Amino acid sequence: MGSLAFESQTLSSETMAIDREEDIVHVRKRARMLAQARGFDAFACAALTTAASELARNVWVHGGGGQATLEELSDGNRFGIRMVFRDQGPGIADLERALQGGYSTARSLGLGLSGTRRLVEDFAIDTRPGEGTRVTITKWTRF
Amino acid sequence: MARLGFDERELQSRRAIFELHDEDLQRLTAIRAIAERHMAEVVDGFYALLLGHPGTRRFLTDDAQVARLKRTQSAYFLQLFDGRCDLPYVENRIRVGAVHERIGLAPKWYIAAYRRYLALLLERVVLDIPDRAEALAAYQSLKKIVAFDMSIAIDTYIAANLESLGRHQAAIRELSTPVIRVHERLLLLPLVGAIDSQRAQQVMEMVLVRVIEEKARAIIIDIAGVPVVDTKVADHLLKTTAAVKLIGAQTILTGISAQVARTIVQLGVDISSMHTLARLSEGIELGLELVGKRIAPKEPS
Ligand SMILES: Nc1ncnc2c1ncn2[C@@H]1O[C@H](COP(=O)(O)OP(=O)(O)O)[C@@H](O)[C@H]1O
Ligand SMILES: [Mg+2]
């Protein structure tokens, strides 16, 4: 996440539970609200909302539930939104394949992780078999 | 009975929870004669409570009805001392609960009425038992069977409420998946709102049923009202398209905003199996073409 010259500052942070399918909608609605309030354009809002939807769904479907933390950032010039998705599920056994795209253990499209990576500026994933998965993404407003 | 899942096993397990043993039932049978002697007082006292409060009085419209209810109540009262707590007994209790739920009597009345019932039983019946130890034991047994009855009544309320909730949900789902006939053999489904797993299933089924019913050649799915098109929604649209194709129709996807188009491309989803257009009006034109029709300007007269 070292794409910035300036130290970024966290303006707010909130954590939401992802226990039920409805929670996916709650998380992405909140993401959209924050993005709109911080002046993200319509394309960036759609990207961020879709990314939130993908990762929250992965937490629910593959991770057996977990949490999402949404943070508002500022680097002095731009606003950013960082989202951390955490679960204590099985972890991703073959991370390389999962990130390649088109691979799914749930017989869905398998394009969530690879696609999300293209929707945001920063994408980091930390997964341990049997312990869980944490995906962190950040998107910034344009200058 | 079926909807409560009440069978012999549930009966035994519930009796165990309430510690309602055969000795309790025997103890109740033993005081049946005393109970019978005080039956009218208990039932009258019970209805005095119901008639004394506007919340319950409105359910009691005329004297004939009250007299009828008192007879039912007397039968209920005596059953407590029948020494039976089997499936027919439970069935009877479920019926009582169902009737009260149907007329809209809230559970608080039920519980309050039972409280009064126990008080009356204590004053009139139990205190009339000469032996003090026996009276106390009988009262404990009475409390067990009354609590057992209450649990069944409350379960009946909950089951009935869940059932009506399920009916409403089904109705709303149907309303939220309106497959409209635009023209002969051309259908339109405007999707509005989030598509969760359950709704996705519903949409697919509804589309297939309607395509067959209308012998449709094409169905337009308009997604202008869908807030987020992620890989889950895309997957669902692709699967619906594949299924529709199997029954001989084509899918036209419309209402794709610039943002959604770009997001779909970035996600890497291939939606080339569908015809895709930005506007619904364009979708209708294409749909008509697919069924061999065309919108033409009126001939100048
Ligand atoms: N939070 C998670 N916990 C465990 N496994 C995951 C998680 N997220 C993704 N995966 C694995 O990575 C695969 C690819 O994920 P994704 O690209 O979102 O596609 P899909 O969800 O359609 O399967 C999943 O099928 C699953 O095996
Ligand atoms: Mg996924």
Q: How far apart are CA A21 and CA A104, in angstroms?
A: 19
- Joined tokens for residue B21: 């043993």
Residue B2 has pLDDT above 60, yes or no: no
Determine whether the shortest distance from the Cβ of A105 to ligand 1 is under 6 A: yes
CA distances from residue B159 to A28, B152, B198 in whole angstroms, order as listed: 34, 10, 22
Q: How many residues does chain B have?
A: 301
Determine the distance from the C-alpha atom of residue A92 to the mean position of all C-alpha atoms in its chain, rounded to a whole number. 16
A125 touches ligand 1 (CB under 6 Å)? no
Whether the predicted pLDDT of A43 surpasses 60: yes
Interface ipTM:
0.92
B205 token code pair: 């089924």
CA of A68 to the centre of ligand 2 (A): 15
Q: What is the dihedral of CA B206, B209, B210, B211, to 10 degrees?
A: 120
How close B174 gets to chain A, by Cα (Å)? Answer: 19
Structural element, H or E, at residue B157: helix B132-175
Q: Give the residue ranges of DSSP H helices in B214-296.
A: 231-246, 258-267, 280-290
CB B240 within 8 A of CB B246: no
In 3D, which of A50, A45, A46, A43 has the Cα closest to residue A24?
A50
Chain B, 242-271: which have a CB under 8 Å from a chain A CB?
A: 258-260, 262-263, 266-269
Beta carbons within 8 Å of B257's beta carbon, 6+ residues apart: B224, B278
Residue pair A132/A88 in contact (Cβ under 8 Å)? The answer is: yes
- Indicate whether residue A106 lines ligand 1 (CB < 6 A): yes
Q: What is the pLDDT of residue B90?
A: 92
Q: Amino acid letter at B270? A: D
Segment A97-131, tens digit of pLDDT: 999 999 999 999 999 999 999 999 999 999 999 99
| Ligand 1 atom index nearest CA of B231 | 22
pLDDT tens for B42-55 read 888 888 888 888 87
Bridge partner residues of B218 (DSSP): B186, B250
| Contact indicator for B222, B255 with CB cutoff of 8 Å | yes
Which two tokens mark A26?
A: 């709650």
Opening angle at CA B271, ends B266 and B277, nearest 5: 95
The pTM is what?
0.66
CB contact under 8 A, B228 and A53: yes
Alpha carbon distances (Å) from A117 to A42, B21, B56, B218: 18, 64, 62, 35
Q: What is the pLDDT of residue A1?
A: 47
Interchain proximity B196–A109, CB inside 8 Å: no
Q: How many CA atoms lie within 13 A of B181 on its CB side?
A: 11
3 state SS of A92 = coil
Phi, psi of A37 (to 5 degrees): -65, -30
Looking at per-residue pLDDT, the higher value among B270 and B200 belongs to B270
Evaluate whether B8-173 and B180-290 have a shared fold.
no
Distance from CA of A42 to the nearest CA of B (A): 7
Distance CA A27, CA A85 (A): 10
Determine the pLDDT at residue B235.
Answer: 95
Name the CATH topology of A12-140. Heat Shock Protein 90 (3.30.565)
Map residue B120 onto helix, strand or coil. helix
CB-based contact B259:B230 (threshold 8 Å): no
Assigned token pair, B19 = 């510690």
Sign of the CA dihedral with A104 first, then B250, B209, and B228 last: positive
Model confidence over B57-110: pLDDT tens digits? 888 878 888 888 888 888 888 999 999 999 999 998 888 778 777 777 788 887
- Taking all residues of chain B, what is their mean pLDDT, rounded to a whole number? 89
CA-nearest of B275, B273, B170 to B221 is B275
Which residue's C-alpha comes closest to atom 19 of ligand 1? A110
Q: What per-residue confidence (pLDDT) applies to B173? A: 67
Token look-up 């709303």 returns: B172
Secondary structure class of B127 (helix, strand, coil):
helix
| Segment B203-221 mean pLDDT | 94
CATH of domain B180-290: 3.30.750.24
pLDDT confidence tier of residue A142, bands split at 50, 70 and 90: confident
**Cα radius of gyration (chain B):** 32
Q: Is B159 a residue whose pLDDT tops 90?
A: no
How far does residue B193's CA lie from ligand 1's centre (Å)?
25
pLDDT in tens, A77-96: 899 999 999 999 999 999 99
Q: What pLDDT score was predicted for residue A6?
A: 58
Give the tens place of pLDDT for each residue, B178-194. 899 999 999 999 998 88
- Is residue A100 less than 8 Å (CB to CB) from chain B? no
Q: Do B266 and A112 touch (CB under 8 A)?
A: no
Sheet with strand B218-225: strands edge to edge: B180-183, B186-192, B218-225, B250-254, B275-276
What is the reported pLDDT for B60?
Answer: 81
Q: Which CATH number fits domain B8-173: 1.10.490.10, 3.40.50.11860, 3.50.50.60, 2.10.60.10?
A: 1.10.490.10
Side-by-side strand order, sheet with A122-128: A9-18, A66-74, A79-87, A132-140, A122-128
Residue B145 near residue B24, CB atoms below 8 Å: yes
- Contacts of A16 by beta carbon, 8 Å cutoff, 6+ apart: A23, A26, A27, A30, A67, A68, A69, A70
Instruction: For residue A10, report the distance from its CA to the centre of ligand 2, in Å.
Output: 28
Q: How far apart are CA B84 and CA B104, in angstroms?
A: 29
Q: Which residues of A touch B227 (CB under 8 A)?
A: 32, 49
The answer to whether the CB of A63 is under 6 A from ligand 1 is: yes
Residue for token digits 């405007």? B190
